[in-house]
Chains A and B, each alone.
Chain A
Amino acid sequence: MNHLDLLTFARGSALNWALIIFVAGTVLRFFEIFGLSRKTDLARPRTDSPGSGWRTMLTRSIPPQGMLKREPVTYIAGYVFHLGLFLAIFFFAPHIEFFRSITGLSWFALPSALVDASVVAAIVALAVLLAHRLNNPVKRMLSGFGDYLAWTVTLLPLLTGYMAYHHLMFEYTLMLSLHIFSVELLLVLLPFTKLFHTFSVFVSRWYNGDFFGRKGVAS
């Protein structure tokens, strides 16, 4: 198979399959979560509460009092990584083009140089986070195969994307295929690993905010 055939496959049936598994997997995981019940809370909630599920969905991204000082690496590297990844996926012109081809929607793109810088920052942040995970006793104890797998499949698209954009290492068409394959790997594994937090975090934060909100506490 030459490089162009490989790319056609990557962009074509491989992508279709990856998207199908991604969507089906995500739907399945949501069924697994919502298929369980949640009993109605019969205790009278406080009426003038500063907290709510919707509020916590957003505000939980802010470090609570005293926490940033205790764990600056996790918070700062976490922000840099997530922001970098978000900008790279959604504000890079070729990606926006891809989304337009699937959904018909498109939006403004950021200058590629900016996206490039944010990808570098994201990769550096990921490296820092890995080092931290290996060195911090709590993280090390909590971590297993799933964590290192998730780290790897998150790094690969960033790394291969960077390399493709800069025409590094391999011939461009091949590099691009590898990049798309790495994205497909991420898509396929996302619903079945801790990466599913991409979606479930909104659910868990909502329940948290709702529980505390009913008691009059903004969580």
Chain B
Amino acid sequence: MSATLEKGLNAFKEVIDTPIASYFSSCVHCGLCAEACLFYNETGDPKYTPIHKLEPLRRVWKQEYTLLGKLGKMLGLSKPVTDEELTEWEPLVYDSCSMCGRCSLVCPVGNDITYMIRKMREGMSASGHAPEDMKGATKRAIEIGSPMGIKWPAVQAQIKHVQAETDIEVPVDKQGADYLVLMSSMEIINFPEYLSAISRIFKQAGVSWTLAPDAFEATNSGIQIGASDLAREIVSRIVVAAERLKVKCVISPECGHAFTAIRWEGPNLMGKPFGFEVKHILEVLDELHAAGKLKTRGKDKRPLTYHDPCQIARRGGVVEQPRRLLGEVAEDFREMPDAGVMNWCCGGGGGVSANSRAEPLRLEVFKVKKRQIESTGVHTLITACANCRIVMEEGLEHYHMKVEVLGLTELLAEYLVEGE
């Protein structure tokens, strides 16, 4: 066994816990998980069956943690997990799974397959079986501070741009501010309008907030590739900054996996509860709205629909907030079929969009989202994740659909009443 395969197998053994043991024990091979999966649904290829993606992990569980399995292994009757097998499984685990969570909602025996994929990725990456693009992103995240290679001077440039546009100062390193605002690389690079919208909304609402030069990045490629030590390193930067600035709450931006990383995995990676709260920007905006601090005027007359980012809605519990906010600024809001926690993934989460090898598959399975949008008849799509936004723009362009995609925060800012 090569050194890296051994590390991978050890990682597999380490991640298997009581829930996973119960999941593997309960699976009855009913195949319903496949019916829930975006990738199986559109391609019809049985290899995309979610529980099948876990087969190497299952065998390790059987051989290490069950009496029968251990006996089988001792007697040479069991099939060991090999490097070749992990090579074969790599595209199943990384290209055809965005950790969207639909399978976990559907399995009749209650298996949280998504959770298991997340854990399996630990072993895959420890054994060197992760997509090259993702390895690059993680390396950049650790060495530079951002998976896309963004350094603070780039953020400063954007801040200058946004300040000129809005005439509002962007606070940096403000001690005792209520909120520490994080951004995702995607927003910094592609959507400066997010920071501009935040500035304007927070000014109007009288919110005290700040950015931090040592912790502006919310995305966590450690989570996506499955390297908890790296994920921990990335989260710790945020924790250190939040504690240093003594903020009450850290705001996770319009990005799905960033929210999962900091809100749900963060304290577990750090090994201690946070001394501050973590909220998604939609939650904060909803709270401001409920308190009457978010003043808007007028409504968008375009018929529009909302795409629920998987990590925010299904895996994060932020479902009603965007709808309440849209109620304020949209005249003709139409739900797509399966809206809410059962919404279909854009296809690009969990590192899939960073993985160029997965592009053809991702574009293929976008047809599911395409059909959802078409059934609403709208030409304007709102969402709250920068990655979903770009993945969907690509998909829409690929299928020649005339649909515009907007971020929810940006849309709210358009109807903001300022100076009152």
- In the complex, whether B211 has a CB less than 8 A from a CB of chain A is no
A97 to B265, CA, bound (A): 52
B interface residues with partner A (beta carbon < 8 Å): 16-23, 25-32, 34-36, 40, 44, 46-47, 49, 51-52, 65-68, 104-112, 115, 263-268, 270-274, 277, 314-319, 338, 341-342
- In the complex, whether A136 has a CB less than 8 A from a CB of chain B is yes
A196 to B46, CA, bound (A): 25
> Contact size class for A?
35 or more
- In the complex, whether A166 has a CB less than 8 A from a CB of chain B is no
| Chain A nearest Cβ from B279, distance in angstroms | 11
| Chain A nearest Cβ from B298, distance in angstroms | 31
B18, B319, B338: residue with the most chain A Cβ atoms closer than 10 Å? B18
Q: Which residues of B contact A137 (CB under 8 A)?
A: 44, 46
6 new A-B contacts at CB < 8 Å, known A60-B109, A66-B342, A208-B110: A33-B21, A36-B65, A43-B264, A57-B110, A71-B31, A138-B46
- In the complex, whether A28 has a CB less than 8 A from a CB of chain B is yes
Say yes or no: B111 contacts A43, CB within 8 Å.
no
State which of B17, B30, B47, B111 has its C-beta within 8 Å of the C-beta of A74: B30
Say yes or no: A78 contacts B30, CB within 8 Å.
yes
In the complex with contacts A43-B265, A66-B342, A217-B341, A207-B31 CB distance below 8 A: no
In the complex with contacts A204-B111, A207-B112, A215-B316 CB distance below 8 A: yes
| Chain A nearest Cβ from B373, distance in angstroms | 17
- In the complex, whether A147 has a CB less than 8 A from a CB of chain B is yes
Say yes or no: B19 contacts A204, CB within 8 Å.
yes
| B68: nearest chain-A partner, CB-CB | A192
Say yes or no: B30 contacts A37, CB within 8 Å.
no
Say yes or no: B30 contacts A209, CB within 8 Å.
no
- In the complex, whether A172 has a CB less than 8 A from a CB of chain B is no
| Chain B nearest Cβ from A155, distance in angstroms | 15
Say yes or no: A139 contacts B338, CB within 8 Å.
no
A49 to B96, CA, bound (A): 31
| Chain A nearest Cβ from B123, distance in angstroms | 16
Say yes or no: A197 contacts B25, CB within 8 Å.
yes
| Chain A nearest Cβ from B12, distance in angstroms | 13
Shortest Cβ-Cβ A-B pairs, 8 listed:
A216-B317, A205-B110, A42-B267, A138-B31, A208-B110, A207-B19, A203-B22, A142-B29
A78 to B271, CA, bound (A): 42
| A34: nearest chain-B partner, CB-CB | B18
| B25: nearest chain-A partner, CB-CB | A200
A188 to B143, CA, bound (A): 56
| A61: nearest chain-B partner, CB-CB | B108
Say yes or no: B31 contacts A136, CB within 8 Å.
yes
| B114: nearest chain-A partner, CB-CB | A211
Q: Which residues of A contact B28 (CB under 8 A)?
A: 194, 197
Tell me the residues in window 56-76 of chain A with beta carbons closer than 8 Å to chain B beta carbons.
56-57, 60-61, 64-67, 70-71, 74
Q: Which residues of B contact A106 (CB under 8 A)?
A: none
Say yes or no: A201 contacts B26, CB within 8 Å.
yes
A207 to B115, CA, bound (A): 11
